[in-house]
Chains A and B, each alone.
Chain A
Amino acid sequence: MAFYASRIIQILPYFLKGLLMTIEVSGISLILSTVLGFVLGILRTADSKLITRSIGVYVDVMRGTPFVVQVFIVFFILPSWGLQLEPLPAAILALTAMTAAFICEVVSGGIKAVPKGQWEAAAASGLTRMQQLRLVILPQSMQTILPPLVGQYVLMIKDSSVVSVIGVTELTRVGWQTVVRIPEGLMVFTLVGILYFVICYPLIRLSNYLEHRLSLQTVKL
């Protein structure tokens, strides 16, 4: 036991550095994918068939291919098209592109869940399309959007482990690097798992709380 403890103290600094990198990659991707996902989700509900179909194709491709393949494409294929990225920006680009597709679906689903009469009432009073969306539709959609949105963040943090394959020294890669050097393999990946859980768990609770609040509100209305 004492042996384990000293081992943990020995390796912990590396793991914390890995954890910080995981938080950095996920955090930046979270912000970017939220912005991009909302823009795509809003455009997905637009009138133009060309726009909605193009976004639909994009979303299907992102949802229908393994994330690890997407990461390889960004890191190894894009350079041959002239876009050469360091591992960290490549990881952020891949995570953002994938998560934005899922957020797009969450957002457009939330917007479509608002009854058509709300758009009509807002339009009839002279509000522009952007005002209708901002003042009337989105505030009502947020209730349905928030719980699955936070759920997407959890999935993204876990998927960020995949970017270890292109050499981003985040938590999972630190795990791989450590496990080849010391004999306690089980302990290493248990620690990796615990550290992921520590950042994901509050978000899971938040998502559950938002969902619970939503169901209460639906009962009230």
Chain B
Amino acid sequence: MSYIAKPSVAHKRLEKNAHGLTVRDYEGSLSTLCAGCGHDSITAAIIQAFWRLNIEPHRVVKLSGIGCSSKTPTYFLREAHGFNSVHGRMPSVATGAAAANRELVYIGISGDGDSLSIGLGQLCHAIRRNVNLTYVLENNGVYGLTKGQFSASADVGTKAKRGQVNRQQPIDPAMLALTLGATFVARSFSGDKAQLVPILEAALRHRGFALVDVISPCVTFNDHQGSTKSYMYTREHYHEVVEADLVPLRTPIETKQGEGEARQVRLHDGSLVTLRSVEPGYDPTDRDAAYLHLRKLAKAGEVATGLLYLEEGESDMHEMSNTSDTALVNVPFEELCPGQDALQKLMNEFR
């Protein structure tokens, strides 16, 4: 944390997006996390993704639970709507908010503790419902805020800062999401914005639940030797399987040159995602194959990254639950609250 505010002065030649805004306009207040925390770098990636997608900050809802990671919505999009829920309960608040107003863009920020321990059930059900939400899981293998206890994502054999070794099996959020039928599953690393930003962009444009598991080293409690979630370890075991690139609607498509097989998936809003398999034979649109491949890499101690699985066109929560097309705030009061008689009529139907 810093005592001075980040100066408002910016580079005069900072690029502007379609709304005439610079990335600086997508910032929030200054982070109070430890200097060097991976979470801050993810915050910066989120800022870039929203800026590049030309999403106006006030059209965004940012939600979180409890944890260092869950503090971060304060640090981006100061003009967005925000909700800091209780520990592990962000998914249900997000579900409710999305049901009430489908016109806004939803992003939930959580940690491995918040998502995989106390909030595991909530996470699973949000995936099942296919809530139209970008779910960023800032994964550092510990409960950072409560001083570094192992979380449920800690690998077997990883060492705590005081030397204890974890013996319990980890929960891999990406594999969990695949088994639960998630339609967008990605993993990235806070130290690789070149990969993370396009993934976040695709996730924000995806209709339905998008899980983005981001390895995010805790510099204070989990960046030492022997940790499997440190900057060094992650870089050494980094294994990119699929490279993703989002081509927004109405932008002429120029296929980037690169290694591997390319697939294109058209998203609901018309934009195109190019998925290039860096790993030969990997098919990011085949759920079962993806699952098997991830298991294989996990066993080998590799961190598989990239947009691992994408399926567009599945029903999302709005379709399945037949929610209101119009945001409830825009429904005239008489319609939203039709009065005692209407209620009585409805009640009678259940008699």
Co-assembled chains A and B: no
- Could you tell me which B residues sit within 8 Å of A by CB distance? none
- Could you tell me which A residues sit within 8 Å of B by CB distance? none
